[in-house]
Structure 1
Amino acid sequence: MRGIKLAVVIILAGTSGVAAAQADAPNEDMRNIVEGCIPPAQRAGPMDALSPAARSAMLSCLARESARLLSGQLPLRIDEITILRSVAADGPQLTYLNDVEVDAAGLTEAESEALIETTRATVCSQPVMRAAISAGSSYRYIWFDRTGAEFNRMTIERCAGDADEDADRAALDEGPEETPPVTIARHFTVASSEG
C-alpha cells in the first residue's frame, strides 16, 4: 500500500534523530494520520497516478499531521549538542528548528558547510527519505546557536541523481528502514566549559 507507506515515510523520515524516536510511536497514531489524510480509494494506488493538486493536498495533510504528532515529543535531544525544538509544516514541507550548543561566531565556513553536506547526504542516502522527496515532500532544517542566533539553514527538495525514481518507488514498496542519526557534534569543536 504505497499511500500508507508514504505516510509512514513522512512521519519517520523527517529528521534522522526523530526517525529513531518515532520508530516506537504507536502504529495507531500513524494509521489515524493516514486515514485522515488519504482517501481509502487512493491508499493502495501509486502517488504518480494522482493529480498534482490531489498529491499536494495529501502530502500537505500528512506533513501537517506528522508535525503535530512529532511536536508532542519535543524538545528532543538528537545528539550530544543538538536539540530539536520545533517541527512545523508548510504545505508538503516539514521544517525542523534545531538548537546547537555551539557559538556560531567561532564556527568556520568548513564546519558550517559540513553541517549542510552531512545532513543532505544523510537524507539523500536513505531510500525512504528520497522516496518522500520524489513524491513531492521537502525538508527544511534551521540551526540556532547557544545564543539563539540562526547560523545555518537548508532546504532539501531534491537529491543528486534523482533520476533514479524507480529505486525511490521501490523503497516505498519495501517500507521505512531505520535512519541513522545525523551527528552534528562530530563536525564541531565543542568549547570546554572550564574557565
Structure 2
Amino acid sequence: MVLEMFEHFLSNLPNVTAETAADLDEALAKIEQGGAFDLVLLDLNMPGMNGTSGLSKAIALNEGKPVAILTSNPSQKVVSDILSLGGAGLILKTTSLKDLGNEVNFIAAGGRYIPVDLIETQRVKTQDTTSTPLSDRETTVLNLLAEGKPNKEIGSDLNLAEPTVKMHVKSICTKLGASNRTQAVIVARDLNLI
C-alpha cells in the first residue's frame, strides 16, 4: 500500500513517471531491463539492501545517473557512507509531500541533497565531542585511569601527591556524573573523551 501511494504521488508530479520495486533484486532487474533511470531512490531498509551495499550495486547499474537513499533516521556513519559511495543524497521518510517533490526533482536534476536537519545534527555532535568539561590535567588523569592504573601509580607518573590524584578523580567523577572511577572511564569512552 505504501509503495502504491508513493508511486501514485510521484507519478502525479509534472514530468515524472515512477516505478516501484518490492526489494533490491527487483529494482536492479528493472534497471537492467529498462536501462538507466533519471533517478533511482532506494529505501535503506528494503529487503536485499544489506546496509549501503545495495546502493553501490544500483549506482553501478544506473550508468552515472543519480541514485539516492530514502530512510527514517540515519546515523552519521550511514550519511557519510552514502556520500562516499557516490550516492546522490538522502531523503527522509518524515519529509512533507511538498518537500518530497522538490527533493526528488532537485536530485534528478543532478544535485546532491542532504537534509539540513542531518547537517545540523552532525555539527552539534561535533561540537559536543570536541568540547570537554574536563581540564587538561583531569584528561591526563582520566587516560591513566583508563589504563587501569591505581592512584599511587598515577601520582608517580605525573609527579603528584596521591591526595591530589584522588581530588582529580573525584572531580572527574562529578563532572561526568559517574559514581566511581570505572564508571567515569565508561562514560568518557561513550562521550569520545578518551
TM-score when normalising by structure 2: 0.21
Greater per-residue helix proportion: 2
Greater per-residue strand proportion: 1
Structure with larger Rg = 2
TM-score when normalising by structure 1: 0.21
